[in-house]
Amino acid sequence: MKHLVALLLFLCSTGAYAFSFQDFNGRCGDVKLFVGPVERNKLAVTDADDTGGYIVLDPLLIQTVSPQALTFIYFHECGHRVNGDSSLGYRSYNAEQKADCYAAKRFSGEYGEQTLNSVLSELVLINGTPRSINIWNCRK
Ligand SMILES: [Zn+2]
3-class secondary-structure state, position 87: coil
pLDDT of residue 53: 84
Chain-centre distance for alpha carbon 139: 16
Residues with CB under 5 A from ligand 1 (ion): 96, 99
Residues 61, 67, 69, 71: is their CA dihedral positive or negative? positive
Write the CATH number of the domain with boundaries 20-137. Answer: 3.30.2010
CA of 94 to the centre of ligand 1 (A): 10
CA of 2 to the centre of ligand 1 (A): 42
pLDDT of residue 47: 79
CA of 91 to the centre of ligand 1 (A): 7
Domain ranges of the chain: 20-137
CA of 12 to the centre of ligand 1 (A): 30
CA of 55 to the centre of ligand 1 (A): 11
CA of 47 to the centre of ligand 1 (A): 11
pLDDT of residue 5: 37
pLDDT of residue 3: 42
CA of 33 to the centre of ligand 1 (A): 16
In degrees, to the nearest 5, what angle opens at C-alpha 114 toward C-alphas 112 and 120? Answer: 105
CA of 16 to the centre of ligand 1 (A): 28
Which segments of the chain have a pLDDT < 50? Answer: 1-12, 14
Q: Which residues contact 85 (CB under 8 A, 6 or more apart)?
A: 46, 91, 95, 99
